[in-house]
Amino acid sequence: FFSDIISTVEFNYSGDLLATGDKGGRVVIFQREQENKSRPHSRGEYNVYSTFQSHEPEFDYLKSLEIEEKINKIRWLPQQNAAHFLLSTNDKTIKLWKISERDKRAEGYNLKDEDGRLRDPFRITALRVPILKPMDLMVEASPRRIFANAHTYHINSISVNSDHETYLSADDLRINLWHLEITDRSFNIVDIKPANMEELTEVITAAEFHPHHCNVFVYSSSKGTIRLCDMRSSALCDRHSKFFEEPEDPSSRSFFSEIISSISDVKFSHSGRYMMTRDYLSVKVWDLNMENRPVETYQVHEYLRSKLCSLYENDCIFDKFECCWNGSDSAIMTGSYNNFFRMFDRNTRRDITLEASRESSKPRAILKPRKVCTGGKRKKDEISVDSLDFNKKILHTAWHPMENIIAVAATNNLYIFQDKIN
Amino acid sequence: MAATLGTGARAEESGQEKQDMQEKETVTPERAEEAKLKAKYPNLGQKPGGSDFLMKRLQKGQKYFDSGDYNMAKAKMKNKQLPSAGPDKNLVTGDHIPTPQDLPQRKSSLVTSKLAG
């Protein structure tokens, strides 16, 4: 079981299922163990529930473009029946997968025997009714819809609408609206491609539907701006309803300013009142009613500001970190380097740095807070900025929708941490 | 050569000057890093994060190989994996059919061209 680099992590609406996508196009779904009196310690553990190959590598011969099988995003659909549905996407194609359980099998068919071989019709002398017998649980994943050929550029986001019927997909320059039942058509709702590509100044970096208002969505750009659009105002939402941008201090502008202001992730709060954006060095919380500046700014790793030259040389400055809210919107989490991840409590303004690594995480051990030393004397237990491992990046994290359980992807390992019980 | 040194020296000097006049203004860490970068790569594009950089981002995934050869080889192999190029990936010769994995990583050429301007 070769484990590839994890490229996306997502809890479903109940938090009982956790899906991960990897660079090899595979999806692995974990399920939370039910409370079991005979194994009290296993309550809350996540075990593998289903594994399937979602996307395969492809080659676009016309454009001589390799299409990676890497899963960029997974989004769950709200559960409507016994089966679970999720959308998974690579750079070009979105697929709707149905994950269903089978724990019964019919036996006693008339026309075929137990091996599946057809019975000789002349040998059948009596008619019987097949009966359902229990069998070992089998979890099957099948592709129900394939939404292809709608994106010229690379898909960076998908978002299921609160109407549970439509979803959006965004690439570098365009956003499309789909109906979950219809695969041969999609509506283009945002197009920022300039007539002359020489005039291109920004690209779309992320997009998301509002959690309650099915006509509202936002998209972020590489220039650090967020646009909120209302689909009721016009069919093509090239003109935004709201434009969020923090004014820049002109005296601090440098070669790196635009690059580090590029927003790598945007997430609405569960309440729908706020949204959070992640740029290279910070996380910002915006009130949807205030466009001219964020209401809260949290520094993730400000000590990297004096390392921007080498981070540009090794491309790390282009790393796309994600961020997430906890269920009550009172805390936010995002990743950093050296397998560190950061959590911020919005009420107490306290923050903590934790590490996801084998050495520091034994089952049921409590995580120790970490600290990066930025200059002067390094205290014992602190790590200096120069010893940080920039290859160990935590780009993807997820928070259980209701409980204090978090999933952290560290390269090709998945860590699940829980709040200490009792 | 002289130009490179000159730029570097000038950045250093202005840095010093600025640090001397601390009550007026200080060099931000970002500006210091920018000076470092410009000293190393003086031909770095005038438009930071401008269209050149964005165009390269949009073109990610561009590879050149013979798809006909690749598919013929894949068909012959059926379920078996195509042999990869071995330790020295640059020497793809003889019977070996290049696979997408063998092609030089796009990332490295992106870095070179980005810094060479």
The continuous run of DSSP H or E covering A302 comes out as none
Q: What is the ipTM of this complex?
A: 0.72
A249 reaches B (C-beta below 8 A): no
pLDDT at res. A168: 98
Work out whether strand A73-76 and strand A84-89 pair parallel, antiparallel, or are unpaired: antiparallel
**Which residue of chain A comes nearest to B62, CA vs CA?**
A65
Instruction: Answer whether B58 sits within 8 Å of A251, measured CB to CB.
Output: no
**Which residue of chain B comes nearest to A194, CA vs CA?**
B51
pLDDT at A138 > cutoff 50:
yes
Distance between B69 CA and the closest CA of chain A, angstroms:
12
Output the 3-class SS for A246-284.
CCCCHHHCCCCHHHHHCCCEEEECCCCCEEEEECCCEEE
pLDDT tens-digit readout, A270-313 = 999 999 999 999 999 999 999 999 999 999 999 999 999 999 99
pLDDT tens-digit readout, A304-349 = 999 999 999 999 999 999 999 999 999 999 999 999 999 999 999 9
Distance between B60 CA and the closest CA of chain A, angstroms:
8
- Contact (Cβ atoms closer than 8 angstroms) between residue A218 and residue A231: no
Chain B residues within an 8 Å CB radius of A173:
58
* Calpha distance A138→B58 (Å, rounded): 42
Provide the pLDDT confidence category of residue A161 given band limits of 50, 70 and 90.
very high
pLDDT at res. A178: 98
pLDDT at A21 > cutoff 50:
yes
Work out the average pLDDT over A23-33.
96
pLDDT at res. A113: 84
pLDDT at res. B94: 53
pLDDT at res. B95: 55
Instruction: Answer whether B51 sits within 8 Å of A202, measured CB to CB.
Output: no
Closest CA to A182 of A166, A193, A194, A197: A166
Instruction: Answer whether B51 sits within 8 Å of A199, measured CB to CB.
Output: yes
Work out the average pLDDT over A96-114.
92
**Which residue of chain A comes nearest to B70, CA vs CA?**
A59
Q: List C-alpha distances in Å: A318 to A262, A314, B113.
A: 9, 9, 16
Nearest to A65 among B54, B62, B107 (CB): B62
Instruction: Answer whether B51 sits within 8 Å of A201, measured CB to CB.
Output: yes
pLDDT at res. B24: 36
Nearest to A66 among B37, B50, B61 (CB): B61
pLDDT at res. B26: 63
Token pair, residue A234, equals 């016009």
Instruction: Answer whether A305 sits within 8 Å of B30, measured CB to CB.
Output: yes
A139 reaches B (C-beta below 8 A): no
* Calpha distance A99→A144 (Å, rounded): 10
Handedness of CA B105, B111, B116, B117 (dihedral sign): positive
Q: Is A340 helix (H, G, I), strand (E, B) or coil?
A: strand
Q: Is A316 helix (H, G, I), strand (E, B) or coil?
A: helix
Chain A residues within an 8 Å CB radius of B64:
64
pLDDT at A24 > cutoff 70:
yes
Class of residue A366 by CB neighbours under 10 A (exposed 0-12, middle 13-18, buried 19+) = exposed
Whole-number percent of chain A with pLDDT over 90 = 77
Angle (nearest 5°) at CA A141 between A136 and A145: 155
Chain B residues within an 8 Å CB radius of A262:
49
Angle (nearest 5°) at CA A289 between A288 and A290: 95
Instruction: Answer whether B70 sits within 8 Å of A197, measured CB to CB.
Output: no
Q: Which residues of chain B have pLDDT under 50?
A: 1-25, 49, 85-93, 105-117
Residue A94: CA atoms inside 13 Å, Cβ hemisphere, count?
34
Whole-number percent of chain A with pLDDT over 70 = 96
pLDDT at A176 > cutoff 90:
yes
pLDDT tens-digit readout, A227-265 = 999 999 988 888 999 999 999 888 888 989 999 999 999
For an interface test with A, give the residue of B30, B105, B106 to mutate (most A CBs within 10 A): B30
Chain A residues within an 8 Å CB radius of B107:
315
Which of A106-120, A226-240, A353-367, B8-22 has the least mean pLDDT? B8-22
Instruction: Answer whether A203 sits within 8 Å of B54, measured CB to CB.
Output: yes
Closest CA to A86 of A154, A143, A128: A143
**Looking at per-residue confidence, does B101 or A226 come out higher?**
A226
Chain A residues within an 8 Å CB radius of B73:
none
Instruction: Answer whether A203 sits within 8 Å of B57, measured CB to CB.
Output: yes
- Contact (Cβ atoms closer than 8 angstroms) between residue B63 and residue B106: yes
For an interface test with B, give the residue of A201, A223, A254 to mutate (most B CBs within 10 A): A254
Distance between B6 CA and the closest CA of chain A, angstroms:
19
Which of A17-21, A123-127, A187-191, B68-72 has the least mean pLDDT? B68-72
Token pair, residue B3, equals 């130009």
**Looking at per-residue confidence, does B12 or A225 come out higher?**
A225
pLDDT at A154 > cutoff 90:
yes
Interfacial residues of B (vs A; Cβ cutoff 8 Å):
25, 28-34, 36-38, 40, 44, 48-51, 54-55, 57-58, 60-64, 67, 70, 100, 107, 110-111, 115
Token pair, residue A221, equals 């750009």
Whole-angstrom Cα Rg for chain A? 24
Residue B38: CA atoms inside 13 Å, Cβ hemisphere, count?
21
Sequence-ordered list of residues with C-beta below 8 angstroms from that of A230, at least 6 positions apart, any chain: A215, A216, A237, A241
Sequence-ordered list of residues with C-beta below 8 angstroms from that of A297, at least 6 positions apart, any chain: A282, A283, A284, A285
Closest CA to B35 of A47, A254, A418: A254
Chain A residues within an 8 Å CB radius of B62:
64-66
